[in-house]
Amino acid sequence: AGGKHSLTWGSWFRDFIQLVPHLYTDEVLDAGEALLAQAEAAVADGDEREIARVAFLRTGFDHTRLMAAAIREMQLLQAKDPAADQARLDEARDALRQFREANADSFAVPMYNLTARELTYDPTRPLWINP
């Protein structure tokens, strides 16, 4: 990964962000969804702390699903894949943006910092700015 290192992110993020849709495939996310649903059911009658902990995981998980979908669509368009669809990217980006705005105060995901980083790196800039 080249580039300048920051104190908190380093240059690993530039490469990692491009791997998100390959690491978090639909199959992996579906399995994660099943586990999270089990956890939510297990704590439904639990104390507030248990419920809050699982809700924290839900926020991070839902963000991961949205981010993977948006980056996957962006990469398809960049590769000029016949399956690429600008409307799907726009929809995925809008869903990700709305989620980040709605959860900006969550400690589960650094919403604003992620968006700033994605705008900084050439490979992910098209996620937010159409070329």
Q: Could you tell me the residue ranges of all domains in the chain? A: 12-124
Q: What digits encode the pLDDT tens for the residues 68-87?
A: 999 999 999 999 999 889 99
Determine whether 111 is exposed, middle or buried from the number of CB atoms within 10 Å of its CB (0-12, 13-18, 19+).
buried
List, in sequence order, the alpha helices (H) in the chain: 12-23, 26-43, 48-78, 86-102, 111-120
Q: What digits encode the pLDDT tens for the residues 78-127?
A: 999 998 899 999 999 999 999 999 999 988 888 888 888 888 888 888 88
How much is the pLDDT for 131? 57
State pTM to two decimals: 0.84
